[in-house]
Chains A and B, each alone.
Chain A
């Protein structure tokens, strides 16, 4: 029986994004260790399940500045696989393309690395099946060529043919090796191990074309359980099963009808997250007066954070209030602040207020949709505050 692990987008050692320096120590420690724990979990799973291969279809690492710990962890993991007689198959993606030249020469010989050109590697499983793996490594941060065309059709001399592909569905010329599911199906492979998209997704069943998602959620958009796909051959071909490995989670929670900050805290404590969890919190409906003031003054999230017991497994990192009334409605029709806010943001007025002294990453952020959304939200909150003070 053939079995392997499909682990796309491991991003070993990648820092968590969007968390504050004010995190409680407990959570600080958790995030320092999380991606390493998840990776060791992956290795342990491979050894316990006695899989034949472990596939890393891109972004195993996070970039060129690979820390000593990351390198040591990686090598130790590979050695453990070697001792268990497991072959690791690596292709580099848009994040770790630079590691192609520096890392593999130190890896043990049970690690096979795909070249920049599409290659086929034929290996034999423990039970003697001949398995062909086809893939390529990125040579740059983007790959605009049609790489799927270089993939050969299914090899008739093997029992299984598996494709490793780091990219996303799209049209030719897109940044990340755009492909279509139909083109993949046309190759007649038995399994496509995809990488690049951090959200786990099955694009096609029988044969499976799937993203395993990333191994550990690293920001608030990467919610839910994260891990790898354990793939085994059965009567219906290769069948994948998700294995949860991430020790830290991001989740989103919407609360309705909460009266005051303590009610929010109670709701969080009753939410029963078994793992340390970072929460994007939404409070639905008009805010009760006890919440309103703190929210308008911009303290509500802080108040909730400070009211949580030290032992809490949950840590809210963002708070949004979903209200029926918008800023536009709140003001007289002649004062369309929402449009004005949008116009000011679109004009990039903000960038002019930031000198070169401001870190580039912040300036870039404010020029990107993500930062502009945050700025819009902040401005709307400010004008909502102005409105409520008018009402007072």
Chain B
């Protein structure tokens, strides 16, 4: 943008005057009070509004002539030429007219705002418009928000993103404060995390004990193993001592009984000893027999005395039983007789002969046959001699006789067959016995019937006497009943008084016989024992016992000697020699005691050791069970994960501003950096290299001289400081509002500079003026060129 012309209707000392600025570097010279500052104020007033008089010290530039306040500025922009007219100080009237189209802008204030946007009047004053006194106002910009302010100037659309990012920055800062003592959520989380870390370290330290305890346990176990080893050895020694002690008594036994064992008792020889033993056994058998006999005798005598006291039911039973027995034996006898009788016959027991048969058998067999044959011969002779009827008749008779005799003979043969193998005479002699047998046989049913009756009577008697109940009787067979009765009641078969007496006699006789046998035996035994001075059989056995004991002792002595062994025997005999027989036992006992004590104390330390191991093991188990390292580590890992996420979130919030700036600057360097780079270059030019570089650090401006030494702005001379601020302003003016470079309005700003620096500044301004218009007011009329404007 260029200011081509200004026309003042009325402003301070100026009334109805027009200035044309034909040069890019336009010098307007005039002495003090020539109205230089009024011109600058007029231009700014037209652009941004006239002074409203709100501040007491504010100059209002009311026209001294009383003309109408205000005027017109003609500018040329990239969009064309415009005339901006502002009349009246308060409630002023603004008109913007395009000189190209002649059109008037509908909203001239907005038009002007857009023209300068994003710069406000203040910004314009801070950068583009200044006098010597205002130079340092540029520092109002270079505070904390310099970068942001620059961005706003450079890229107006940044503002909305920046304010959005700012909000997030604030949100982020609500989460975390950089300071050590912040109380915001993430600061608190840091503390909690550190506390958990300490907890983990503590747990780690505690559980580090696990290794130590394991090592301790290994050590204890080694000691225990050693103790166990010692125990085993000591136990062996103890056993050895115990056996030595036991051997000692053996040794003593053996040595004291040595002599006694040599004499053996005299004994009968083997054969005689056997004979004696046999006799003794026989004697014992006889005594047993005598005893039994005595018992039988006593029993018989008892029975005899009991005879009268038999109860009536029992006598009935006994009688019935006797009858039964009688019937039975009768039956048996008959059956046996029948069996016996039939035994010799080929065809079983034959029926006895009847009278006819007996007669047939008694007849002679030869005579009838002789008679018959004689008759037959005579009849044949007669037939030869006397043929006739008589002879024939005789023949018929004799043949008939022969036939009759033949029949008789057949019958007889059949009888003999029946009684085979008996002959005729024997058969006849046997007939009486045979008939008796058959008679008796015919009586069998009768006897049986009687036996049945007796049986019934027996059962009845048993029932009545209560000896057996009905059920038992029903269940038992007849034989069972009888057997039971026999066993229970009638064991004595000889119940009859006569029988008993007989038995008594017999028993007495036997007893006498046994007594005699015993007597004989005793004599024979005595004969055998006497030669050895043995009074009786007990002495005999005593003698044998003695002998056996002596033999055993001898064997034991031999065994013991072998058992003790040569070594032990040598030890003992040495001990006996050193200590004397009577002290050896005590000596051994003392040694044993010593070993036992040692073992006891060893076992005690072993127990202690085991207890220690158990303690360590318990501690180990407890560490495992209560150990929280694993879970704390997991908790810490989870915490870390949460913290990472939270801090990522926090950083995203606070970095949004950086991202926005970066996006809008589009370069790696920040805008501030660019500006100060440029300002540094200008400063170097203005100071002819005395100062090289400018650095903005936390809002304060520093410069480096050619030697690289750093100075704060306040440390510089006022002239140099003015150059510094000028350089920054110029750098800013070239960086800001680049699309439409704005005119610089410089009012006697170089008065403090020496000639050389002033020249340098003017050269620089002239250079800059090729890019943007410079209106330069000065009292130095020497600077006026041909197109300069002289104020009077």
Contact = CB atoms under 8 A, between A and B. Distances in A.
Interface of A: 13, 15-23, 31-32, 65-72, 102, 105-106, 298, 335-337, 339-341, 343-344, 349-350, 353-355, 357-359, 361-362, 365-366, 371, 374-375, 378-379, 381-383, 386
Name the residue among B180, B187, B643, B644 with the largest chain A CB count within 10 angstroms. Answer: B644
B656 interface: yes
A68 B624 CA distance: 5
Interface stretch (B207-215, B569-577, B693-701): B207-215
A20 B639 CA distance: 7
Contact of B662 (A21, A68, A340): A340
Contacts of A341: 659
Contacts of A66: 207
A68 B207 contact: yes
B647 A362 contact: yes
B649 A378 contact: yes
B535 interface: no
A350 B651 contact: yes
Contacts of B653: 382
Contacts of A32: 630-631, 634
Interface string B179-200: 1101000110010011001000
A322 B645 CA distance: 20
B652 A375 contact: yes
Interface of A is mostly: helix
B178 A383 contact: no
B168 A68 contact: no
Contact of A65 (B629, B656, B662): B629
Given A17-B637, A366-B647, A382 B620 contact: no
B656 A382 contact: yes
B642 interface: yes
Nearest to A372: B648
A344 to B, nearest CB: 5
B190 to A, nearest CB: 5
A354 B647 contact: yes
A105 B215 CA distance: 9
Contacts of A70: 630
A366 B634 contact: no
In this complex, the interface size class of chain B, counting residues with CB under 8 Å from chain A, is 35 or more
B193 A67 contact: no
A20 B641 CA distance: 6
Contacts of A355: 178-180
A72 B662 CA distance: 56
A68 B635 contact: no
A355 B173 CA distance: 13
Given A67-B627, A72-B210, A379-B656, 14 more contacts: A16-B634, A16-B638, A17-B640, A19-B638, A23-B638, A32-B630, A65-B629, A68-B629, A298-B649, A340-B663, A343-B662, A353-B178, A379-B659, A386-B164
B655 interface: yes
Contacts of A381: 652
A197 B645 CA distance: 26
A357 B180 contact: yes
Contact of B659 (A17, A72, A383): A383
Contacts of A340: 659-660, 662-663
B655 A344 contact: yes
B648 A375 contact: yes
Contacts of A71: 210-211, 214
Name the residue among B187, B194, B659, B660 with the largest chain A CB count within 10 angstroms. Answer: B659
A22 B643 CA distance: 12
B633 interface: yes
B638 A371 contact: no
Given A67-B633, A340-B659, A340-B662, A382 B180 contact: no
A354 B186 CA distance: 11
Nearest to B158: A335
Contacts of B369: none
A340 B665 CA distance: 10
A335 B664 contact: yes
Nearest to B217: A106
A344 B659 contact: yes
Contacts of A105: 215, 218
Name the residue among B210, B638, B645 with the largest chain A CB count within 10 angstroms. Answer: B638
User: Can you list the 10 inter-chain pairs with the closest CB atoms, starting with the nearest?
Assistant: A67-B629, A15-B637, A340-B663, A378-B652, A340-B662, A68-B627, A68-B623, A15-B634, A68-B210, A72-B624
Contacts of A353: 178, 651, 654-655
Contacts of B638: 15-16, 19-21, 23
Interface in B141-188: 161, 164, 168, 178-180, 182, 186-187
Contacts of B204: 65, 67
A67 B648 contact: no
A386 B178 CA distance: 26
A15 B637 CA distance: 6
B627 A31 contact: no
B594 interface: no
A339 B211 CA distance: 54
8 contacts: A67-B203, A67-B633, A70-B630, A105-B215, A337-B663, A353-B654, A354-B651, A378-B648
Contact of A19 (B207, B215, B641): B641
Nearest to B634: A15
A335 B663 contact: yes
Contacts of A339: 663
A344 B662 contact: yes
Interface in B612-633: 620, 623-624, 627, 629-631, 633
A382 B652 contact: yes
A381 B649 CA distance: 10
Given A69-B624, A344-B658, A349-B655, A16 B194 contact: no
Contacts of B659: 337, 340-341, 344, 379, 383
B636 interface: yes
A357 B190 contact: yes
B147 to A, nearest CB: 13
Contacts of B270: none
Nearest to A336: B663
Contacts of A357: 178, 180, 182, 187, 190
Nearest to B635: A21
B211 A102 contact: yes
B643 A362 contact: yes
Contacts of B180: 355, 357
Contact of B655 (A69, A72, A350): A350
